[in-house]
Chains A and B, each alone.
Chain A
Amino acid sequence: MNNEQRPLIEVKGLKKYFDINTGMFKTKQLKAVDDVSFSVNKGETLGLVGESGCGKTTVGRTLLHLYKPTAGEVIYNGNLLKTKSDIKDFRKHATMVFQDPYSSLNPRMTVSDIIGEPLDVHKVYKSKKLREEKILELMSHVGLNSEHASRYAHEFSGGQRQRIGIARSLALNPDFIVCDEPVSALDVSIQAQVINMFEELQSKMGLTYLFIAHDLLVVRHISDRIAVMYLGRMVELADAKEIYDSPLHPYSKSLLSAVPVPDPKIARENKRIVLQGDIPSPLNAPSGCPFRTRCPYATEQCAEAMPEFKEVSKGHFVACHRVDEIN
C-alpha cells in the first residue's frame, strides 16, 4: 500500500489482566492479553484473527486506552503515550468501529445526533451550520442520503446501521481505526458493500486499520499483513499472502486449513488439520506454550518454556519452539 513503511502505531509488551471473582473473597487473574508487540504502518491494514476469547477485542480496546493497560507501551507517530493529555489527544486520531450494528447505536437518537456526538463532545464546531455541513459530508462518505439525517437508527437495516457507525467514527478525522468485526453481523450480500466502503475510505483518506475478524476470507481480502492470536498471545505475524499460503505456526496451519472454501472441488480435496480438544480457559492457561495442549508437534520443552516471538525471516514473526524442525 505505501512505500515508506513508517509505523503509525507501535505496541510493545502490551498486557491486559482482568481480576475475576472465583468465589468468596477469591480472585484470579485472567490474562486476556499477555505480552503482545506489533506495529501498524501508515496506510496499511493489519488483520487480527484467532478464536473467540483469544483477546482480539481486548488488544484493540487496550491499545486505544479504552482499557488501562496492565503493562506495555503504545507509541503513536513516534511519541510514547504517557500523560492523560497524550491519551486525550490520541483519542481524536484513533477510534473504533464495533461489531454489532444493532446494539452499538442508541435507537432514540437521530442519525445526525449519533454522527454529531463526537463533534459535540470535543467541541469541534462553533456554529451550528458548520456542524451540519460536516455531518452531511460524513454521511455522503459512507453512502447515506442527506434525507436520512433526521431518521432514527432503528429504522435502518444492518448494513445501513454499520454505515452510520462508521460515519460517526470518522467525525474527528481520525487516521487510525480499530475495526472490531465490522461485517460479521451482516448478511453475506451486504458484507461486500461495507468491505468496499472501508477500502474506498482508506484510499481516499489515507486511513490505517487494525481489522479484527473471524472470517479468514474477509481478512485475507482486506489485509496487507495478518496477525494470529491464541489465548492472549500473538503466535504469528506476517505478510497476508505469505501467512495465508505458508503459515509456519502449528496453530495458524490448522486455522487456515479449517477455513471452509466456497468451491466444492477444492473443499473435497482439502486436507484439513482437525485439532483435538477444546480451547483451554484463559483462567487456566497451560504452562509454556499456550497451544501445546492441542498441538500435534508438542514436546516436553513446549510445556516448560514460553516460546519467544521472533523474526524467522524478514517481517515474519513466529512464537514456536519447533518452527525450524516442522517447516
Chain B
Amino acid sequence: MALLEVKDLRTSFFTDAGEVKAVNGVSFELERGKVLGIVGESGSGKSVTAYSIMQILAPAGKIVGGSVKLDGEELIGSGENVMKTVRGNKVSIIFQDPMTSLNPTYTIGSQLMEAILLHTDRNKKEAYARAVEMLQLVNVNEPEKRMKQYPFELSGGMRQRVMIAMALACEPDILIADEPTTALDVTIQAQILELMQSLQEELGMAIIMITHDLGVVAQMCDEVIVMYAGSICEQGTADEIFYNPQHEYTKGLMRSLPSASTAGTRLQPISGTPIDLLNMPKGCAFAPRCDAAMKICIEQAAPRVDVNADHRSACWMCVKNQIDNGTIEVKGGEVNE
C-alpha cells in the first residue's frame, strides 16, 4: 500500500464569476521515501492540490469529490480533529513565502517550540533542546542566538531554513514543499536543496516538491506529475518525463527552455496565452495552444493511457501513436488498451 493515495480529487472555488474547477480529477500515489515533483504553469492547480491534501483551503474553496488516503486511512470527511493530528505530525508543508507562515511578532524560538509542544509530548525544556537541535540540523549558525531573534532579522535563505526546521520538527512522513526556493538566489537554493536531500535520506520521509523550475525537478525528483488546467496531463518517472515526453504540452515545455545550446538560435515557444479556468474548452484543455491538435482534440478530452509501466499520458497524439504502432486497438469507435 502506498503511503499516500490520491484518487480523482476535485476541488472548486465558488466565486461570483462562477465555479472555478481548480483541481479536476487528480490521482497519484506516493511511496515512502520517494520524491514526487509537481510542475505546471501558474494557475494549473499545484498549490490547490497540496492545500486539498492538507485541507487548508481558502473559505471559497471546497473539495467536491475524490479520496485522499494516508496509510490507508481516508482523510476526506474525516473531520477537523483527525486533520489536526495529520497536519504537522504526519504531513508538513513549507510555503513559498516564509514571511507568510512565520509570525513577525514572535521570536523564531517561540514559534519553533510552539510547533514542537503542539505535536509531541515533550515538556518545555525538552522542546527548547529539540528546537536548537533542529536549527543545527538545517545549518542555521548560532542557533541559541537565532532562537531569540525575530523573522525580519534573518536573511531570506535563513528564514526558509527555519521554515524547514519547523516543518521537520515532528518528523513527518510527508513533507510538501510548495516552491520552497523560488524566492531564493541560486547559490542559496543549492544549499536548501542539498539540505532537503540529505534530510530526506536521513529521516526517510517522502517529499512532494511543487515547482515551476524543471531544473529543480531534474535534480530532486524520482517521479513527476505535469499539470495543466487542473488536471494531470502526464505522469511518470523523471527519466520518462524528461527523455520520453508524450503529452504535447510537456513536449512544448521541454522544447521552449533556453540553454547553452540554444544560444544564437530562436527559442521554440508554446503559442497562445495561459488558460482561463472559467472558459474551459470542450475537448483537451491544451488544444487551443497545441500545434499538433486534431479534430478529436477539440471535441473530446483525451483518455489517460499507459505509455509503459512507469508512465501515463492523457493526449490524443499519444493515443494516435499507439494506434499507429499497434500498441492499442480500436474497436467500434472505442479505444481499448
Among residues of B, the one whose C-beta sits closest to the C-beta of A278 is B155
Q: How far is the CB of A173 from chain B (nearest CB, A)?
A: 24
Q: Are B216 and A260 in contact (CB under 8 A)?
A: yes
Q: Which residues of B contact A131 (CB under 8 A)?
A: none
Asked whether, in the complex, the Cβ of A193 is within 8 Å of the Cβ of B218, the reply is no
A192 to chain B, nearest CB (A): 4
Q: Is B157 on the interface with A (CB-CB < 8 A)?
A: yes
Asked if B252 is at the interface (CB within 8 A of a chain A CB), the reply is yes
- Of the candidates B187, B238, B252, B256, the one whose C-beta lies within 8 Å of that of A255 is B187
Give Cα distance in the complex from A268 to B213, angstroms: 16
Contact residues of B between 169 and 195, Cβ < 8 Å to A? 185-191, 193-194
Q: Please name all residues of chain B whose beta carbon is closer than 8 Å to the beta carbon of A274 when the two chains form the complex.
A: 187, 190-191, 194
Q: For the complex, is A327 an interface residue (Cβ under 8 Å from B)?
A: no
- A264 with B190, Cβ < 8 A, contacts A159-B273, A188-B253, A189-B274 known: no
Q: Which residues of B contact A190 (CB under 8 A)?
A: 269-270, 273-274
* Contact A258-B186, Cβ < 8 Å, known A217-B257, A279-B155: yes
Interface band, chain B? 35 or more
Task: Report Cα–Cα, A254/B269, bound state, in Å.
Answer: 30
B214-248 interface (Cβ within 8 A of A): 214-219, 238-239, 242-243
A293 to chain B, nearest CB (A): 12
A157 to B215, CA, bound (A): 25
Which residues from B are CB-within-8-Å of A159? 273
Also in contact, A259 and B186, with CB within 8 A (given A187-B42, A190-B273, A264-B218): yes
Q: C-beta contact mask, B184-216 vs A, less than 8 Å → 1, else 0?
A: 011111110110000000000000000011111
Across the interface, which residues of A come within 8 angstroms of B238, CB to CB? Answer: 264
Question: Which chain A residues in 262-305 approach chain B with CB under 8 Å?
Answer: 262-268, 270, 272, 274-279
B187 and A189 contacting across the interface, CB-CB below 8 Å: no
Cβ-closest chain B residue relative to A199: B266
Indicate whether A160 sits within 8 Å of B273 (C-beta atoms), given known contacts A52-B185, A258-B189: yes
Contact B187 A254 (CB under 8 A): yes
Answer whether A262 and B257 are a contact pair too, CB < 8 Å, given A192-B268, A196-B266. Answer: yes
- B41, B157, B219, B274: which contacts A260 (Cβ < 8 A)? B219
Q: Are A221 and B267 in contact, with the CB atoms below 8 A?
A: yes
The interface residues of chain A lying within 8 Å CB-to-CB of B41 are 187-189
Interface centre among A160, A254, A278 (most CB of B within 10 A): A278
Asked if A195 and B267 make an inter-chain contact with CB atoms under 8 angstroms apart, the answer reads yes
Q: A5–B143 Cα gap in the complex (Å)?
A: 53
B263–A260 touching, CB < 8 Å: no
In chain A, positions 159-177 with a C-beta closer than 8 Å to chain B are: 159-160
Contacts of A244 in B (CB 8 A): 260
Task: Check B127 for interface membership: any CB of A closer than 8 A.
Answer: no
- The answer, yes or no, to whether B120 is at the interface (CB within 8 Å) is no
Do B269 and A192 touch across chains, with their CB atoms under 8 A apart?
Answer: yes
- Is B258 among interface residues, defined by CB-CB distance under 8 A? yes
Q: Is the CB of B274 within 8 A of A275?
A: no
Q: A228-248 interface mask toward B, CB cutoff 8 Å, 1 = contact, 0 = none?
A: 000000000000110010000
CB pair B190 A189 closer than 8 Å: no
Is B259 an interface position by the 8 A CB rule?
Answer: yes
CB of A110 closer than 8 Å to a CB of B: no
B262/A221 in contact, CB under 8 A: yes
With contacts A51-B185, A52-B185 taken as known, whether A189 is within 8 angstroms of B270 at the C-beta atoms is: yes
Tell me if A148 counts as interface (CB < 8 A to partner B): no
B85 at the interface (CB under 8 A from A): no
For the complex of A and B, 8 pairs with smallest distance between CB atoms: A260-B215, A221-B258, A192-B269, A258-B190, A262-B214, A192-B267, A192-B256, A267-B218
B binding-site residues for A, Cβ under 8 Å: 41-42, 141, 155-158, 185-191, 193-194, 212-219, 238-239, 242-243, 252-254, 256-260, 262-263, 266-271, 273-274
Q: List 29 A-B contacts (CB under 8 A).
A: A51-B186, A52-B185, A157-B274, A188-B212, A189-B41, A190-B273, A190-B274, A191-B269, A195-B258, A195-B267, A196-B267, A200-B266, A221-B262, A223-B263, A254-B187, A255-B186, A258-B187, A258-B189, A260-B186, A260-B189, A262-B254, A262-B259, A263-B218, A263-B242, A272-B194, A274-B190, A275-B191, A278-B155, A278-B188
